């Protein structure tokens, strides 16, 4: 199978989600994609089945924050200080969707460990939450309020959030590698009362962490990108036959 690496840099939320969907239409049994990108302006993405009414769109407009729907499931994320990945992989007999999910997570662990050895004790979540029940809770609107099976944690806190969807015979998986703390400002844009917002803020603070928080140093995005690429190549034992570059990071 031939792999293409796409480094598309900073783009709008609509562009990023449309790009991932477009790649699924180009994917075939002999072609797969791995893409790294960021968001400009910052953007709140909602899961495919989430209501836009969960978000205060007047405040997002005033603050220059985009809102977009993801083709995958999950809940609200504020994409800001992060590196986002997507993998578009044809389904075949070798790997199931669950195995693909786990393998991608392990490649990201390799990448973060390459970036900084402090991440050598990253781990995968081994339990799957009851998402229908979680969605009934006040914090159910928050994607980073819980950790799904095989998502990546550091000292018990979620540092990478991922979502997957099967589209015909193709797997689309994308996710956020948290770099800075700006994602916690999502609370400011949730339509809810003050007491719930305080609960949301507590959940995000207690259940998530970020690369800059762990390392105590500013992100070097180019070093991080190269490390994630190397981790992916080693875990999947592949070389990228072509590289497509877009905007700068």
Domain that holds residue 76: 2-245
Catalytic-labelled residue, pool 27, 43, 143, 179: 143
pLDDT over 80 (residue 93): no
Q: What is the pTM of this model?
A: 0.91
Give me the CATH number covering residue 11.
Answer: 3.30.930.10
Asked if omega into 41 is within 30° of 0 (cis), the reply is yes
pLDDT 10s digits, 132-155: 554 545 545 555 555 678 899 999
Please give the residue that has the higher pLDDT: either 126 or 242: 242
pLDDT of residue 142: 58
| Dist CA 207 CA 4 (whole Å) | 34
Q: How many domains does the chain have?
A: 1
Helices (H), the chain: 13-26, 57-63, 97-115, 131-134, 194-207, 211-215, 221-236
143 is catalytic: yes
pLDDT of residue 137: 56
90-99, 119-128, 168-177, 215-224: lowest mean pLDDT where?
A: 119-128
| Dist CA 211 CA 180 (whole Å) | 7
- Strands 170-178, 2-11: pairing kind: unpaired
User: Which of 69, 13, 76 has the alpha carbon at shortest distance from 204?
Assistant: 76
CA distances from 25 to 104, 116, 168 (A): 21, 36, 10
pLDDT of residue 218: 97
């Amino acid at each position: 199978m031939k792999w293409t690496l796409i480094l598309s840099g900073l783009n709008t939320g609509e562009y990023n989600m449309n790009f991932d969907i477009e790649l699924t239409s180009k994917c075939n049994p002999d072609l797969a994609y791995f893409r790294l990108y960021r968001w400009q302006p910052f953007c709140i993405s909602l899961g495919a089945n989430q209501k836009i009414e969960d978000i205060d769109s007047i405040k997002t407009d005033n603050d220059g924050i985009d809102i977009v729907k993801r083709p995958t499931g999950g809940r609200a994320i504020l994409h800001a200080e992060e590196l986002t990945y997507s993998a578009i992989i044809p389904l075949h007999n070798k790997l199931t969707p669950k195995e693909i999910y786990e393998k991608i997570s392990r490649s990201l662990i390799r990448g973060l460990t390459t970036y900084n050895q402090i991440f050598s004790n990253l781990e995968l979540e081994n339990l799957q939450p009851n998402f229908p029940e979680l969605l009934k809770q006040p914090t159910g609107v928050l994607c980073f309020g819980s950790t799904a099976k095989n998502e990546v944690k550091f000292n018990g806190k979620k540092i990478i959030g991922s979502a997957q969807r099967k589209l015909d015979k193709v797997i689309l998986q994308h996710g956020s590698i948290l770099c800075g703390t700006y994602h916690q400002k999502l609370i400011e844009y949730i339509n809810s009362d003050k007491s719930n917002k305080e609960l949301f803020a507590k959940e995000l603070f207690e259940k998530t962490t970020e690369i800059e928080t762990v390392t105590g140093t500013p992100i070097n995005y180019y070093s991080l990108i190269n490390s994630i690429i190397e981790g992916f190549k080693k875990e999947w034992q592949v070389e990228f036959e072509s590289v497509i570059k877009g905007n700068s990071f």
